[in-house]
Structure formats: C-alpha cells, structure tokens
Amino acid sequence: MTSTPLGLTVEEASLAYQGTPLFENLSLTLSPSSWCCLLGRSGCGKSSLLRLIAGLDTSKGAKVRLSDHAGNALPAQAFAWMAQQDALFPWLSVIENLLLGDRLQGQSKSSARRAEAIALLETLNLADKAEARPYVLSGGQRQRVALARTLMRPSPIVLMDEPFSAVDAITRYDLHQLATSLLSDRTVLMVTHDPGEALHLSDRILVLSPSGRLAPFDCGGPPKALSLSQRADAEQELITLLGHQ
C-alpha cells in the first residue's frame, strides 16, 4: 500500500502571527517508520508546528524547510493528515470517504482500491458500515473510519493532531492498539497533550515549551519499550516537566 519507508527532516521552522514569533528556527528529524510524539502545554504552538509541516499554514509568518531523513526532497503526497475531529464528509458514504483522496487525484474508480478499502474496514471491524453515512456512526466508529481514511493514503509520513483525544478511554485504548499495528510501516508525528498516551505509543518524545524551544525527553530508551513501572515514573517526570513550563 505504501512506498518505501521515509523519514522526515524539518529545519528552520518559524511561525509568527502579526510579527510576534510563536517559535523560530525549530528543527527535528524523524527516522523512517518511527513514531514520535510532540508534547506541550495548551497554546505552546505544537498544533501550529504540525500544521506548518503539513503545509496547511500559508500565512506570511510561516516558514519551514522540509526534506526526507537523507536530505532529499519529499515526494508529492508525502503526508497523510488526521485531526482531532474526524472530519468525515457527511454527504459521502464511509467507503466514498475512504476513496475520496483517489478521486481528488483524478484516479478512476478501481475495484482493487475498493477491495483494499473494504479489507481495511474489516480489520477495523466496520465492514457492515461501508455504505453507511458517517453521521449514523458512533464517535469511536467515526474516528476508526478517519484512521482508515488516513491509512488509505499512500503517504509514507502520517501527521496526527490529537487524533484520539475526543473519544472515551476504552475507545481510545482500542484505537491505540489498532493504530500501533496498522501504522507500523509509517513514520508518525503525533501531537498530544497526554503524557501517558505519548509514552504508550512513541519511539521518541519531543517537548515544545511555551518559549518556543523543542527538546527531546530522555527516558533511557524508546518510551513504548519501557516496563509498566518505568513508564509510571517517566509519566510522573513528564507531568512535572510540563507543569513547570
């Protein structure tokens, strides 16, 4: 489904609103097929940084230089995007939502892609909802469809802005399991405000401070490989760190 794994290098990321800089000259590198979480207090600009990388911020004060992990130019459609709101189009059925990216790219309806979408819905336990309109689904089901739509993109890099924060705890736990297995071959940059979620999912954690500095959080290895007790300690440490910002 995807091309070869691709990392991401972000350099000289700067964002200013009406002359007031939110952050300046940030840089970060993601190795291929790794999962990185971006943490920070509300309003520190972590979502803005993600939008900047996704090319969604075209304002005058927005600047960024992007390349892959080896410094080569990124291919077209390098990013898939998933946000907090499911953003499913209510005038399209679930399967049409999944295939919208293809249609917008001018690709003709292919039965192979349709079969791919159906298989994905089966994996997500949504096979019987393929023809349903999104508004009849529950919040958790909608977010699973949004995940499926993200996975339908051939993009090697997935940018997610608090994708699991609008659902209840049990649904979030399910979504974590699904996302971890289904996104294993992609490079993920995910914004979250939940230290526990970040530790549970990521290979690396970056913390953006309100003063606009980006620092890695060191817990002696990939956070998701920590034992339960180590993770609890690391979570406490993260909360303290964020609380002092």
Q: Does 75 bind another protein (CB under 8 A)?
A: no
C-beta of 154: minimal distance to another protein in Å?
11
Beta carbon of residue 179, minimum distance to another protein (angstroms, whole number): 18
Q: Does 76 bind another protein (CB under 8 A)?
A: yes
- In angstroms, the CA 232 to CA 170 distance is 19
Q: Which backbone phi and psi does 13 adopt, to 5 degrees?
A: -80, 120
- Of the ranges 9-17, 28-36, 63-71, 85-93, which one interacts with another protein (CB under 8 A)? 85-93
| Contact map string, positions 160 to 199, toward another protein, x by CB under 8 A | ----------------------------------------
Distances (CA, A) of 111 to 15, 99, 115, 235, 244: 43, 11, 6, 46, 54
Question: Does position 113 bind another protein by CB under 8 A?
Answer: no
In the region spanning residues 197 to 226, those forming contacts with another protein, defined by CB under 8 A, are none
**CB under 8 Å, gap of 24 or more: what pairs does 27-33 form?**
27/214, 28/206, 28/214, 29/69, 30/69, 30/157, 30/187, 30/189, 30/204, 31/7, 31/69, 31/187, 32/5, 32/6, 32/7, 32/69, 32/156, 32/187, 33/5, 33/184, 33/185, 33/186, 33/187
Decide if residue 135 touches another protein (CB under 8 A): yes
Residue 145 burial (C-beta neighbours within 10 Å; 0-12, 13-18, 19+): buried
Q: What is the DSSP letter of 25?
A: E
Question: Is residue 14 part of the contact set for another protein (CB under 8 A)?
Answer: no
87 binds another protein (CB under 8 A): yes
CB closer to another protein, 148 vs 234? 148
Q: Interface with another protein includes 51 (CB under 8 A)?
A: yes
- Count the residues of the shown chain that bind another protein, applying the rule CB under 8 A: 23
H or E element that contains 32: none
Q: Which of 63, 113, 114, 133 binds another protein (CB under 8 A)?
A: 133
- State which residue, 17 or 173, has the beta carbon closest to another protein: 17
- Footprint of another protein (CB under 8 A): 51, 54-56, 76-77, 79-81, 83, 85, 87, 89-91, 100-101, 104-105, 133, 135-136, 153
